[in-house]
Structure 1
Amino acid sequence: MTGQPTVGAVVIGRNEGDRLVRCLASATEQADRVVYVDSGSTDGSQQAAKAVGATCVELDQSQPFTAARARNAGFDILQKDPVPVQFVQFIDGDCELQPSWIEAARSFLAETPTAAVACGRRRERFPEASVYNRLIDQEWDTPVGQTRACGGDALMRSKALSAVGGFDPALIAGEEPELCVRLRAAGWSIWRLDEEMTLHDAALTRFAQWWNRNRRAGHAYGEGAAMHGSPPERHCVRETRSALAWGAVFPLLVVTGTLVTSWSLALLLVWPAQVLRLVSRGMDPTRALFITLGKIPEAQGVLGYWWDRFRGRRAKLIEYK
């Protein structure tokens, strides 16, 4: 790594077990320094991190946990080095870096001075384990090139991250796209490379887990639109409207209409029609079905955000594992 821009890695996690061991091994092989930020693990994660030479940070449990807060804590440690790292790789503890990712992403950022973020292809480790794992793997198959946002795994330029104040620690979901809004407003660009980046172990096996994951996404849409929904950004406005229309307004019309006339039950045919429309555009039938059904928990998440805001209450983490 001599002569190349230095790279630090920030790994975050809680009770990830063997998945964390794989994650730390992949990070220490590629990064100049690794910081592990733990959010209250009870499975020996802290000891596993120290065993491979990573700096271990344990978050104060008197404050609410968020991934954004954990990432900021790890980044702050890296910035306190006598010679701070130029790039920082953020990675969740249930992921494993692909062997060539850091080299490819570092070269891209070094050659593209206006780029703040480089991300690549995140794949599910066991897509065949459940329909939910397979859906997540398909969800992450997004176009390469300049984009509007990244996910939790990405290589970021330290200077750009510091300039916009890092992640918003109050956000319980959607913190990466929100950060990217501020980065783009400051003149930086976000890129998705045609490179294998990470393997992810979602371990979603139950319908309730899938439901809560979509509810969490809905919360992120609602809060994102509230923060940056005005023109020209219109952040998460389309997603919020879609969730509310398909997951709240339409079901309400069906229920209230049925109280007046049984013919209103025919409105239920609109849902399978929507599935067929998505399939006709080339989408996998199973994915089309779950995307349509997923609007209901998404709407629940949007409405939950606004209900908490109305009551002046801080939103609690929506966990699905």
Structure 2
Amino acid sequence: MPGLPDLPGVSYVMPVLNEEAYLEPAVRTILAQDYAGEKEIVLALGPSRDRSDEIAARLAEEDPRVRLVGNPARDIPAGLNAAISASRHPVIVRVDAHSELTPDYTRLGVAALRRTGAANVGGIMRAAGRGAVQRAIARGYNSPYGLGGGAYHGDGVAGLAESAYLGIFRREAIAAVGGYDPGILRGEDWELNLRIRRSGREVWFEPALGVTYWPRASLADLARQFFATGTWRAVLVRRYRGANPWRFFVPGALVLGLATSAVGLALLLTGVLPWASAWPLLLAPAAAYLLGVGFAVIRIPEQRGVGDRLLTAAALVTMHLSWGAGFLRGIVFGGGRVVDRSRI
């Protein structure tokens, strides 16, 4: 790709929906970036039911670098496209209201874009929590036993990547593939990066980039979020088939295995199947999963006492089963209008 100037202007784009608890700190970390180039922030405001619009208006009044656009469709891809269309700089930084950038994020990211010639650069997502439940959920995010797979959930080595968390993009790369697909309501980052890679451009993982992510603060909200995520991952499997990594299929297979164990246990307890036979082998998936969760809880760091370990186990099980159930729903029925309702 053509070279970038030393200090290209940067446009930060952020979809906003019911984010009154997180929006202002997220914007403040952007305004505090130690990057010397020109900057702007474009907030795409969905139909929030809290004080998000009021907070956004105040931030825009205080600093002319903060600009507002509407996102009546409420969905993340539509909001990102609206914000990108309203922005003007050659570098697009996709940010999230639940995320806070380290002060050097933009400077290091732009340097990586210039050094590698990549179309998109992403770093590491560090989940954090304030209460006991949110901290347990964050531990799940930060562990390969929770989400697993993506380099941006760990401390991988810099290099070419399948996708990127958030992302620092060359504007022309986004334009060349038509922007975010408004029909993909979750997993939009992976899908966009797939099209970027298929266009002959590169996605780069840069572990020096750090982002703090504040996950959902309750298990119920986590379940809603992950069910929607699993559903739309299945849509991506249906659309792109062999381009999907094998890990997308694991939670769905887990749910099927546990369902088999549940049916087997019911038939054994009711006497339909005899215990003195090979039929108790139907319980093997559930037994293996319980052992796996126990092993993961022992290995995951930053836990204090039995209460933390029980919450970590609950967070892992919620992640796995919600994602897997959503995936099976999406494989059979498609995405429909399944959306993440945890922020409504």
TM-score range, shorter chain: 0.7 to 0.9
User: Do structure 1's residue 304 and structure 2's residue 333 form an aligned pair?
Assistant: no
Worse-matched range after superposition: 211-220 or 138-147: 138-147
Residue by residue, what CA displacement relative to the aligned partner does 1:24-61 show, whole Å, maximum 9, x if unpaired? 1222333611111111124113313412321101112x
Amino acid of the residue matched to residue 239 of structure 1?
Answer: R
What is the distance in 1 between the residues matched to 2:18 and 2:228? 20
Q: Counterpart in 2 of 1:72?
A: 81
Report the AA paired with residue 284 of structure 1: I
Quickly say closer, same or farther: Cα 1:49–1:8, change in 2 above 3 A.
Answer: same
Q: Residues of 2 paired with 1:133 and 1:123: CA distance?
A: 8
Equivalents in 2 of 1:181, 1:174: separation in Å? 11
Change (3 A) 1:97 1:75: same
* Higher RCO (CA 8 Å, separation ≥ 6 residues): 2
Unaligned runs of 5+ in 1: none
1:1-321 paired onto structure 2 within 5 Å: 3-30=6-33, 32-41=39-48, 42-43=50-51, 44-51=54-61, 52-53=63-64, 54-60=66-72, 63=73, 65-78=74-87, 81=88, 85-113=89-117, 115-126=118-129, 129-130=132-133, 131-138=136-143, 139=147, 140-145=153-158, 146-151=160-165, 153-204=166-217, 206-230=218-242, 233=243, 235-236=244-245, 238-252=246-260, 254-255=262-263, 258-259=266-267, 260-261=272-273, 263=275, 264=279, 267-274=282-289, 276=291, 279=295, 283-284=299-300, 291=316, 294-309=319-334, 314-321=336-343
**Larger deviation, residues 15-24 vs 287-296:** 287-296
Give ranges in structure 2 of 5+ residues lacking alignment.
148-152, 302-308
Spell out, residue by residue over 1:204-262, the C-alpha distance to the aligned partner (whole angstroms, 9 max, x if none): 2x3222222321231132011011113xx2x15x2343223210254135405742415
The alpha carbon displacement at 1:196 in A equals: 4.0
Over 3 Å counting, the alpha-carbon distance change for 1:262 and 1:291 in structure 2 is farther
Contact 1:15–1:45, Cα closer than 8 Å, also in 2: no
Aligned letter for 2:137? Y
Indicate conservation of the 8 Å contact 2:265/2:283, yes or no: no
CA contact (8 A) 1:20 1:94 kept: yes
Secondary structure of the structure 1 residue equivalent to 2:283: helix
Question: How much has 1:104 moved relative to structure 2?
Answer: 0.2
Question: Aligned-residue CA RMSD in angstroms?
Answer: 2.8
Note the C-alpha offset of 1:111. 1.4
Q: 1:121 Cα deviation (Å)?
A: 1.8
- CA 6–25 in structure 1, closer or farther in 2 if over 3 Å, else same: same
**1:303 deviation in Å?**
2.8
3-state DSSP class of the match of 2:12?
A: strand
Contact 1:127/1:134 (8 A) holds in 2? no
The one-letter amino acid paired with 1:317 is V
Which letter does structure 2 place at the counterpart of 1:136?
Y
Paired residues, what number? Answer: 302
Q: For the structure 1 residues 94 and 295, does the alpha-carbon distance in structure 2 shift closer, same or farther, using more than 3 Å as the test? A: closer
Contact residue 127 and residue 133 of structure 1 kept, 8 A: no
Contact 2:8/2:90 (CA < 8 Å) preserved in 1?
Answer: yes
Change (3 A) 1:144 1:213: farther
Asked if the contact 1:36/1:49 (under 8 Å) is kept, the reply is: no
Deviation at 1:143, TM superposition (A): 2.0
Between the aligned partners of 2:138 and 2:46, the Cα distance in structure 1 is 24
Q: What displacement does 1:9 show?
A: 0.6
Contact 2:92 2:171 in 1 (8 A): yes
Identity over the aligned pairs, expressed in percent? 19
Classify 1:198/1:34 alpha carbon distance in 2 versus 1 (closer, same or farther; 3 Å). Answer: same
Change (3 A) 1:156 1:275: farther
Q: What amino acid is the match of 1:212?
A: R
Write the deviation string for residues 140-161 of structure 1: whole angstroms up to 9, x where unpaired. 325232220123x221111111
Which residue identity lines up with residue 318 of structure 1 in the other structure?
A: D
* TM-score, with length taken from structure 1: 0.83
Contact 2:94 2:168 in 1 (8 A): yes
Deviates more, 1:95-104 or 1:255-264: 255-264
The structure-2 alpha-carbon separation of the partners of 1:276 and 1:18, relative to structure 1 and needing over 3 Å to count, comes to closer
- After superposition, the Cα gap between the structure-2 partners of 1:121 and 1:240, relative to the gap in structure 1 and judged at 3 Å, is closer
Question: 2: distance between equivalents of 1:159 and 1:133?
Answer: 34
